[in-house]
Amino acid sequence: MKILILGGTGFVGPHIVHAALAAGMTPTLFNRGKRNANLFRDIETLQGDRDPLKGDGLSSLQRREWDAAIDICGYVPRIVAGSAQLLAPNIKQYVFISSISVYSDLSALDIEETSPVGSLSDPATEKVTGESYGPLKVLCEQAAESAMPGRVTSIRPGLIVGPGDTTDRFTYWPARISRGGTVLAPGDPACRVQFIDARDLAAFVIQTVKEQITGTFNAVGPQHPMTMGELLNACKTATGSSADLTWVSPEFLLEQKVQPWSDIPLWIPDTPEMRGFARVNNSRAMTAGLKCRPVDETIRDTMEWFNSHRGNVPLRAGLSTEREGAILNAWQFH
């Protein structure tokens, strides 16, 4: 099979390329050639811009045929519509990487693919912000489906983790726990967490192409429900750490002006308004073939990549050593 990958040189893209090659497919990359331009020297790469209004736009895709296109980097409906409409006559399937951020009601448990999604007061906006990101993804899904009715696969992952992730939104935990000492653990150890290894997401994407599976899928893991306590203990085991986990109440953390998710990755207080967070239903994707590797494998491989590629670069997410120590000290005497 011949596939076109829109993007392909960032974090998730290379994993999709490797999964495609492992499946015997022939990938072609389309990007601006500005990021990791030499990453896949033996793979055909077409240069252009996702935005049809910029430079040569999508012109290098004209009069070319592929079995499927995989859109990794679509955020603006107009731009997704441009590629989907251009490719529609010459491909069988359009796979769009969306997000579980599309869902509007995080107070609901067991969010499914048919659950309510967000909307914008100004659907014409192209400014991607924390508030507009999810609703824009909704419109991107709709733009692709409008261009290729019945031939679109919309895959909605949550937090994507694993080797190659430079955001450190997952890496913070194994990296911090591997250093040992007293580790600030947030809130309730029974609070749920969800994430997906980029390699498992890539394998599922390629499977939907190989089997021409269309529709919408929540691509979240792990394979079975996991709590924050289980994750942090898995980090201890996988890294061989003797770290001491000190669980600090969510109320105290908020009093200390700790920002959920950004200051402490993977943590959102389990309030009635957010009780559906990290409880997104993945059964449809699992039935279609999504498989998630054991979390200890993700932890070990992430740390191996981090230690070999990041050197002494400070973590981009999580509490600094000084702030963590100050909060723990305040917690001890509160």
Q: How many residues does the chain have?
A: 334
What pLDDT tens digit does each residue of the chain (334 aa) get?
999 999 888 899 999 999 999 999 999 999 987 777 778 889 999 999 999 999 999 999 999 999 999 999 999 999 999 999 999 999 999 999 999 999 999 999 999 999 999 999 999 999 999 999 999 999 999 999 999 999 999 999 999 999 999 999 999 999 999 999 999 999 999 999 999 999 999 999 999 999 999 999 999 999 999 999 999 999 999 999 999 999 999 999 999 999 999 999 999 998 889 989 999 999 999 999 999 999 999 999 999 999 998 767 789 999 999 999 999 999 998 8
Q: What pLDDT does residue 57 have?
A: 96
Biggest CA pair distance of the chain? 69
Q: What pLDDT does residue 300 have?
A: 98
CA–CA separation, 160 and 198 (whole Å)? 6
CA–CA separation, 95 and 144 (whole Å)? 9
Judge if 2-157 and 172-194+222-277+294-332 fold alike in CATH terms: no
């990101």: which residue's tokens?
133
CA–CA separation, 278 and 110 (whole Å)? 9
Residue partners of 75: CB distance under 8 A and separation at least 6: 128, 133, 136, 137, 140
What is 172-194+222-277+294-332's CATH number? 3.90.25.10
To which CATH superfamily is domain 2-157 assigned? NAD(P)-binding Rossmann-like Domain (3.40.50.720)
Nearest to 169 by CA among 103, 265, 64: 265
Domain range summary for the chain, segments of one domain joined by +: 2-157, 172-194+222-277+294-332
